[in-house]
C-alpha cells in the first residue's frame, strides 16, 4: 500500500527488484477508516503489508506484517531481493549509500520544502541544498557508482521539483519557477546534477512509476489560491 511522494521511492526500488505487488492509493486528506488500525497506527504513508494470505489491498490481513517509513521500506526491499543488488555488497559503499539518502532528508528536502511548498526559503537556499547533494556524487554514475536505493531516495524529489518549476506552481513568486528551472538545467554550476538527472530519469524503474500529469494536477490544485493571491 503506497502513496504520497515518498511512495515513489519504494515503488522505484520494487521496480528495480522486479517485485510483484499490489498498489493501493491512499488519499492523504481522506484516509480510509481501516488504514490506521489495520496497517499503520501512525496513519502515515507509505506502508507495506507483507506476507499472509493473498487479499485485496483494502482488506489487509492480520496475518501479514505491516511495515512503514519510506527509508525503512527501501532497505527492506533491498534485503528481500539481494540478487537485485539494490545496495552495494561492499560495506563502505553501503555506508556511503545510507549517508547519501540521509543527506537527501537533511540537506535537500528542507531546502525543497522551504522554497516550493512553504515559500519561506530562497532560490539560493534551494541551489545550496542541491549543491550539497551534488558534492556527494562521484564523478560519474549514480550516488555510489552503481544504481542503489540511495538513488531511489532522491530521484522522485528531483522529479517533483522540476515539474513544479516547469509549471511555475509553488509558494515562490510568480514567474520564478521557469527561471529557477533554467538555471538548474543549464548553468555549469549544476553540471554534475544535470548529468545525474539524465541518468536516473532514463531508467525504466523511474519512467514506469512517475506520473507527471498527476503531479501537474496535484501541484496546480494545491497552489491555486497562493498563485491567485500573488497576482
Q: What mean pLDDT comes out for the span 175-200?
A: 97
What would the DSSP string read from start to end of 171-230?
Answer: SS-TTHHHHHHHHHHH-GGGHHHHHHHHHHHTSHHHHTT--HHHHHHHHHHHTHHHHHHH
Q: What mean pLDDT comes out for the span 48-72?
A: 93
Domains, the chain, ordered by start: 5-84 (3.40.30.10), 91-230 (1.20.1050.10)
- At residue 155, the pLDDT reads 96
What mean pLDDT, rounded, does the chain reach?
91
The DSSP H or E segment spanning 170 is: none
The DSSP H or E segment spanning 67 is: strand 65-68
- At residue 223, the pLDDT reads 77
Q: Is the pTM of this model over 0.85?
A: yes
pLDDT band at 3 (very low <50, low <70, confident <90, very high): very low
Q: What mean pLDDT comes out for the span 118-129?
A: 94
In sequence order, which ranges of 135-173 are alpha helices (DSSP H)?
149-167
pLDDT band at 85 (very low <50, low <70, confident <90, very high): very high
- At residue 76, the pLDDT reads 97
Residues across the chain:
231
Q: What mean pLDDT comes out for the span 158-167?
A: 94
Phi, psi (deg, nearest 5) at residue 121 = -115, 175
Give the Å distances, CA to CA, from 169 to 164, 181, 218, 231.
5, 12, 10, 13
**Residue 13 three-state SS:** helix
- At residue 6, the pLDDT reads 57
pLDDT band at 226 (very low <50, low <70, confident <90, very high): low
Question: How far is the C-alpha of 17 from the C-alpha of 50, rounded, in Å?
Answer: 16
Question: Is pLDDT above 70 for 46?
Answer: yes
Q: Which residue has the higher pLDDT, 194 or 226?
A: 194
What would the DSSP string read from start to end of 171-182?
Answer: SS-TTHHHHHHH
Amino acid at each position: 500500500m503506497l502513496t504520497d511522494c515518498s511512495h515513489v521511492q519504494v515503488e522505484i526500488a520494487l521496480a528495480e527488484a522486479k517485485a510483484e505487488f499490489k498498489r493501493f492509493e491512499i488519499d492523504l486528506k481522506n484516509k480510509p477508516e481501516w488504514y490506521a488500525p489495520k496497517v499503520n497506527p501512525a496513519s502515515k504513508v507509505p506502508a507495506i503489508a507483507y506476507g499472509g494470505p493473498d487479499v485485496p489491498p483494502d482488506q489487509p490481513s492480520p496475518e501479514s506484517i505491516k511495515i512503514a517509513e519510506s527509508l525503512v521500506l527501501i532497505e527492506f526491499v533491498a534485503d528481500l531481493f539481494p540478487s537485485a543488488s539494490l545496495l552495494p555488497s561492499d560495506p563502505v559503499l553501503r555506508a556511503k549509500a545510507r549517508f547519501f539518502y540521509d543527506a537527501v532528508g537533511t540537506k535537500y528536502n528542507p531546502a525543497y520544502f522551504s522554497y516550493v511548498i512553504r515559500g519561506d526559503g530562497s532560490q539560493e537556499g534551494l541551489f545550496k541544498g542541491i549543491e550539497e547533494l551534488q558534492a556527494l556524487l562521484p564523478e560519474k554514475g549514480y550516488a555510489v557508482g552503481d544504481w542503489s536505493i540511495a538513488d531511489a531516495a532522491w530521484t522522485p524529489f528531483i522529479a517533483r521539483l522540476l515539474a513544479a518549476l516547469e509549471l511555475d506552481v509553488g509558494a515562490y513568486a510568480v514567474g520564478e519557477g521557469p527561471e529557477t528551472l533554467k538555471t538548474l538545467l543549464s548553468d555549469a554550476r549544476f553540471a554534475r546534477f544535470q548529468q545525474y538527472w539524465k541518468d536516473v530519469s532514463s531508467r525504466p524503474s523511474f519512467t514506469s512509476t512517475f506520473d507527471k500529469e498527476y503531479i501537474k494536477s496535484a501541484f496546480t490544485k494545491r497552489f491555486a489560491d497562493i498563485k491567485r493571491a500573488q497576482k
